[in-house]
Amino acid sequence: MKTFEVKAKVEELKYDELNSKELELVRLAKEATSRSYAPYSNFRVGAAILLSNGEIITGANQENAAYPSGTCAERSACYYAGATYPDAKFEAIAIAARGTDGEFVDEPCSPCGACRQALLQYELLAGKGVKTLLVGRDRIYRLESIRSILPFAFTEF
């Protein structure tokens, strides 16, 4: 038998350790939480995606009375980006969330499995890792790719 480990490299940074482009993406992801429609969970998530054409697309979770019909912030942003600029590559994404108390979460919110799979598709189209910034109240987790948090991803058939 052979065993191997799968590891994810995560950099934990303070806000003042981010460069100005990263800070702007984080700011826009936080701002996007205000456009969340989350009457059921009251958990407001925002995502901001930087594209290779310089555009930044934001999204927020949109819930629905038929619960599974709602969608997460990450997928609302990535599908909107893909549908608006089909030729642009994803460069980076920031994800921020506010809890039921309305405050930004302390522990950075990380994308659900379905969103990781959806984002991975655009990462594969980009041909390189999509820098991922998970936003907490006082710290940011920085990942080099979506793939790093989706080991054994389904990529082709």
Determine, following the binding rule CB under 6 A, whether residue 70 of this chain makes contact with ligand THU. yes
Exposure pattern of 45-56 as b/e (b: 16+ CB <10 Å)? Answer: bbbbbbbeeeeb
End-to-end CA distance of the chain: 27
Site for ligand THU in 93-112 (CB under 6 A): 109, 111-112
Is 74 labeled as catalytic in the residue annotation?
yes
Sign of CA dihedral 102, 100, 110, 56: negative
Site string for ligand THU, 115-134 (x = CB under 6 A): x-------------------
Closest to 32 in 3D by CA, of 59, 56, 57, 63:
59
Residue 91 makes contact with ligand THU by CB under 6 A: no
Site for ligand THU in 8-47 (CB under 6 A): 38, 41, 43, 45
Residues that bind ligand THU (CB under 6 A): 38, 41, 43, 45, 61, 63, 70, 72-74, 109, 111-112, 115
- Residues marked as catalytic: 74
